[in-house]
Amino acid sequence: MKDFKAEVQVNKEHYSFGHEVSFLNVYNQIDDVLFLVKQRNIENPKILVIGVGDHLLDIILKYKFGFHVKTFDVDSALEPNFVGSVDKVDSAVHEYFDIVVCAHVLEHLPYEYFNQSLQKIRAISDYAIIYLPIAQFGLRLKFEIFPIIAKQINFLCTWFFKKHSFDGQHYWEIGTRGYSLPFVRNKINNFFKIEKEYNAKNWLYSYNFVLKSKK
């Protein structure tokens, strides 16, 4: 496997603070962080956020919950605490964290670096929250009799027959040809026990894993 040199794919203006998608992602990330903190009874958790985006997550975790948070990103313009590529995160980060949050980052590297990235994340934490894109299409039906009943039903199918081509940001996505959900799940299981997994209801493009290291 050739050494991969990660490059900045978008400028910092791409991450508009408080964008709707950012709020949806951060809502789920906070919920998953609190799930681990409560389940594992972690006091004063140390958290590393990989892929800082608009910094919304680390701001909330720091100033709302009082957690000790540091950040990691390939783009120094985003002013992370550590700069580097996720597949070499342990080379730049010489601390151990209770939880690593890595949301919509690993698809920005070719898939052959997926195993290595998981291994490096595991080297610096026992718990990880990893979100990945899932390519799917479908029909969403919503039934509502206000204020008594509100029901949403999703009929979804992945683009299993479609080959994903690098689009300037994503090298691969779950659900495209060669990257089925069971295939990706099995790769994750080589390094982590899956504590929780779900397709985000508020943003169906995101498939989310809460993980415990198997080391």
Residue 134 zone, left/alpha/beta (φ > 0; ψ -120 to 50; rest): beta
What does the pLDDT look like over 149-170, one tens digit per residue? 777 777 778 888 889 998 889 9
In this prediction, residue 208 carries a pLDDT of: 98
**What pTM did the predictor assign?**
0.88
Number of independent structural domains in the chain: 1
Q: For the purposes of burial, counting CB atoms within 10 Å of the CB of 27, is it exposed (0-12), middle (13-18) or buried (19 or more)?
A: middle
In this prediction, residue 14 carries a pLDDT of: 58
What does the pLDDT look like over 43-98, one tens digit per residue? 999 999 999 988 999 999 999 999 999 999 999 999 999 999 999 999 999 999 99
Q: What are the b/e assignments for 103-115, b being 16+ CB within 10 Å? A: bbbbbbbebebbe
Residue 153 lies in a domain: no
Q: What is the CATH number of the domain that holds 209?
A: 3.40.50.150
pLDDT of 143 above 60: yes
Domain containing 123 equals: 12-135+178-213
